[in-house]
Amino acid sequence: MKLLTGFLVMSLVVGSTSQGLYFDNEDQTVIKLAGLFDTSNYVWGPDVFAVTVQLINQGWWDVLNPGDRLEYDLRNTACDETTAVRSYWGLRSANGNKPMHGIIGARCSGASISLARVAGLEAVPQLSPASTSSLLSNKYEFPSFSRMVAPNNERGEVGALIAMMRVFGWERIGILATDTQYAKDLVNDLRSSWVGDHDDWLGQVAFSDVIRLTQDGLVDGDSVLQVLENIPTDPSITSRVIFLAAHQEHAFAILKEANILLNPETIFVGPSSWAPRDDVNNHGWLPRTPGYLGLAPFRNRDQVYEDFMNELQKYQRENGKEILDELPTFAAETVDAIRAMAYAIVMSDDRSDGDAVVRILRELVFDGVSGKVAFTAEGDRKDPKYSLFNVQHDGSKFVWKDIGVAGTNFSSANLDKGFQDVCFAGMGCGLALPPDDTYPPLPYEMPIWAIFLILFLIAVLVALLFMTAKYYRSRRSKRNIKAELNALRDSVVGMRTATCQFVPKVVRKGGDVEQGMGGTVSAAPIQTPKWMWQETSYAMSQHAPDTIYDANDCWILYAGKCSKKIEAAYTKGSKDYSPLPGYVIDFASMEQIKNSTGYKRRVQRVLEADGGTSKAIDLHAIEFGEEFPAELHGEPRMILCEGDIIQISKQREDDFAFGRKLHQTDEAMARQLVAVALNGASSDDDIITTDSGWFMMSKTKICSSDDLAPLQQTVGDSSALDAPSHWDKTSDPSVVQKHQLLPGDHERMEVEAAFLSTLSPGTKIERVERVQHLAMWQSYAIKRQTICNRATCEPKRALERFERKWLFHGTNKEVMDKILQQGFNRSFCGKNATLYGKGVYFARDASYSAQKTYAVPDRQGKQYMMACRVVVGEYCYGKTNVLTPDVRDRKTMQLYDSTVDSTLDPSIHVIFHDAQAYPEYLISFKSP
């Protein structure tokens, strides 16, 4: 990051515009090229550069104008992103802090990507002879990058690889890859094109695994052994054909272990990164049998190639260097890259205009050392061809033998002499037909009829056991259910059951008017579901405006018919649905998964009003309350539906009590009753809620065992409502107790670490107290279980997904005492914020809640904050002043559980059910 920053600063010193930043050479006849190359592995690089530049300066290929001279400076980039950028910076500094006219390199895709981003800031044209990642075809992200090879997708190497494997009739392969960017991209592109039904063949991947590299860039030996040992051995499910995606320095270290551990008949197929890139005899080991298959960019052998080879060999003889019999892989492409870049620069009216050079470069067509050269609009090699190779033994050593040619069409491979000219590992050469992609079956297999007989007997035995268990369970269930309900009733503090539909009385704008005069009221609107998926931010410009639902969080709407089909599958309770070929939506995790690559994107379901309304309420069936005592004005009042179960946290001597619902019989109905109560209310002080507040005791009764049956289904084992094991003994479950944590306590250290992680240095913690309120904890535990029970995933995963342990809420001393006794309540929490709804606000970062607007200092300057557990559940984007989140499920009219400031990375969570949060710790502190 420091390197890139320094580069940008130096760029700004050179000039003020894109063209002004560019190289301004005093001698306009000199063309300077930067050779950023992997001379560590491509030891032939210096010779090829020297000879090519020398020939161009001598007038070969008519590249230069009279009086022009081509110069270059060659630096090593290895196969490393950081080294590539440093080498570029070194060349730029050596050139008087000015960029070169053009870049030849790099070798590896990762290094080329880094180089393209840095050099592209100044529009320096870059031409790589070897980088094949499909990411580099993005002309918007890499406008100055071109290459002498095709991308490693179906338009290039992947297409040729598939053509080669298809010429042998293979449909099932295994895949091994190193954890480099090159290998990951190559495997993703291969999977995408290989897997699936291709009319006359079905592409399958039997297994796939990744081999780690060490920090030094070497193959991790333990990882190789683990991956090879995990390859399936069952001939019916595995594959004898394995595609190995790796660079040459890694591939043969992997093949060495595979040579020992795997079946001798395993056939390895390699990309141009290692086949035929190395001498098979020079690794300290030899294959048990020949048979590796691979390809490389087309090995041209015409007169242009021969003329260059003569000049190269002449140079090597005159300088006492090793003489090459033929050009190694990508050497011919390097020659043509230097030639093409120099010509494009010469042909440009303004050699400092990098964009003009790129345009000319991509229009070139010529017969090069690597064959016919032309470029696509994206800067890739056009109409590429590949030579096919096979490791064979020539009587004295192993060699890579040229066996044919392939294009990018899946049926384009052509073997020079047919299958008889190919050697296959463990099976030899000269076969009439190629081997199958699976190993031969095991010598001894159980007859099919015996397998079916065993399965039938097992099924009968399981059925008998199931029926027996069901019989005994039914006998026990009646005895156990009542015992469980009694245990639940004894576990929960202060429970009551609502006996009717109850609406508290409010003051109307026209004065006191009679409530409950009859008729009907229709409240909550009917809503229409919309399904959408989350796009990557940089790709948003590719979508039409009418398909974008939320530009900030990158949500893209599915097409109308597709959305309806997804909704139909969702409402039927399906676990997943395939909206498009090759994709599936997992409703449990709300993710869209690409089958071929496993790549995941988030999806969401949003409900919007369509003008209709829900079912009407019969006002004759509602009991309206009496006038509340004056001292309770401004306090929240709670709607009741018959069967609701309430836990009392405070009770007056008259008929009024404060409570929180542990179970709601009909939450959608309760929301409509709130609308009925507030219709025409004269003041915002009339706070009517569905889940907590003051109510009339006369509208409730003591819970019976039967009343608790719905709650029992939610809670399950009543032990789930016990106090946490680390609490001190609770004397009165309905009264809050605070337990001070001493400095050095492990529990206090954990709280302090979470609290101070985002606060400025100098914040002083004066006191940390654990909050113990069993009744409030039980309300929270039941609400948490209710939300988690809706998830289709296993309980542990649901809890991890829906609960946040460390969310913070700043408060003042007066409100703090109310929260600790009565719990969080919208009447005295959230008054400072309504941007994401009128609920209770919690922050991910303590620094946000520590603002003095929220954590109000007392007279001594002391501030108060609560570290809370919050069950956030399914959340949606919050809207200003809303009383509830959006509807999540149209079928049940169920709401989202909370709102957030960003669905992508939320830092603010807002709850609208008071039982969704429990204040675990109270922190007293002073800000610096």
Q: Under 8 Å CB-to-CB from 717, ≥6 apart: which residues?
A: none
pLDDT at 506: 67
- Residue 304 to residue 370: CA distance in whole angstroms: 9
pLDDT at 529: 79
Long-range own/partner contacts, residues 391-399 (CB < 8 A, 24 or more apart): 391/276, 391/280, 391/287, 391/290, 391/291, 391/292, 391/293, 391/423, 392/290, 392/423, 392/429, 393/290, 393/423, 397/280, 397/281, 398/280, 398/281, 398/286, 398/287, 398/290, 399/280
pLDDT attached to residue 723: 84
Specify the pLDDT at position 249. 85
pLDDT band at 476 (very low <50, low <70, confident <90, very high): low
Confidence of residue 267 (pLDDT cuts 50, 70, 90): very high
pLDDT of residue 445: 59
Q: Please give the pLDDT value at position 112.
A: 93
Average pLDDT over residues 760-770: 93
What the block records as the tokens of 623 is: 């009991």
More confident residue, 279 or 239: 239
pLDDT band at 164 (very low <50, low <70, confident <90, very high): very high
Compare 864 and 216 and report the one with higher pLDDT: 864
Bridge-based pairing state of the strands 688-689 and 637-638: parallel
User: What is the predicted pLDDT for the residue at 3?
Assistant: 35
- Please, are residues 821 and 650 in contact by the beta-carbon 8 Å criterion? yes
pLDDT bracket for residue 870 (50, 70, 90): very high
Q: How many helices (H) and strands (E) does the chain have?
A: 20, 47
Confidence at residue 74, expressed as pLDDT on a 0 to 100 scale: 93
Task: For residues 39 and 37, give the distance between their C-alpha atoms in angstroms, rounded to a whole number.
Answer: 6
The pLDDT score that the predictor gives to residue 568 is 78
Mean pLDDT of 528-538: 84
Least trusted range by pLDDT, from 146-155, 341-350, 512-521, 551-560: 512-521
- Residue 338: name the closest of 14, 794, 34, 696 by CA: 34
Q: According to the model, what pLDDT value does residue 515 have? A: 44
Report the 10 Å Cβ neighbour count for 197: 9
**What average pLDDT does the segment 241-252 reach?**
91
Q: Is the pLDDT of residue 185 over 70?
A: yes
Residues 891-918 have a mean pLDDT of 86
In this predicted structure, the answer to whether residue 481 has a pLDDT above a threshold of 80 is: no
- The answer to which of 81-90, 134-143, 454-463, 624-633 has the lowest mean pLDDT is 624-633
> Which residues lie closer than 8 Å to 278 by C-beta, 6 or more apart?
248, 251, 252
What per-residue confidence (pLDDT) applies to 4? Answer: 36
pLDDT one-digit tens code per residue, 711-749: 766 666 666 677 888 899 887 777 889 999 999 899 999
What is the tens place of the pLDDT at every residue in 79-131? Answer: 889 999 999 999 999 988 889 999 998 888 889 999 999 999 999 999 999 99
* pLDDT, average across residues 667-672: 78
Return the structure tokens found at 362: 């991509």
What mean pLDDT comes out for the span 18-27?
39
pLDDT score at 23: 40
Mean pLDDT within 468-494: 58
Residue predicted with more confidence, 287 or 774: 774
Q: Give yes or no for residue 885 having a pLDDT over 70.
A: yes
Please say if the pLDDT value at position 688 is more than 90.
no
pLDDT tens profile 387-413:
999 999 887 888 889 999 999 998 899
Q: Could you give the CA distance from residue 822 to residue 808 in angstroms, rounded to a whole number?
A: 18
Find the mean pLDDT for residues 469-487.
57
832: pLDDT confidence band, cut at 50, 70 and 90? low
Nearest to 170, CA basis, from 235, 236, 240, 270: 240
Report the percent of the chain where pLDDT is more than 70: 85
Model confidence at 167: pLDDT above 50: yes
- pTM higher than 0.85: no
Residue 335 in contact with residue 368, Cβ under 8 Å? yes
Kindly tell me if the per-residue pLDDT of 571 is higher than 70.
Answer: no
pLDDT bracket for residue 808 (50, 70, 90): very high
Pick from 172-186, 534-548, 562-576, 809-823: least confident: 562-576
- Of 120-124, 246-250, 517-521, 656-660, the range with the lowest mean pLDDT is 517-521
Mean pLDDT (the chain, rounded): 83
Query: Percent of the chain having pLDDT more than 90?
Result: 38
Determine the average pLDDT of the residues in 186-194.
Answer: 91
pLDDT of residue 278: 62
pLDDT of 486 > 60? The answer is no
Which pLDDT score is estimated for 520? 45
- Residue 477 clears pLDDT 60, i.e. is over it: no
Tokens of 917: 């949060």
Report strand pairing: 293-297 vs 386-393. Answer: antiparallel
What is the model's pLDDT at position 1? Answer: 35
Question: What pLDDT shows up at residue 479?
Answer: 52
12-26, 548-562, 606-620 — which one is most confidently predicted on average?
A: 548-562
Mean pLDDT of 15-30: 45
Which pLDDT score, from 0 to 100, does residue 349 have? 87
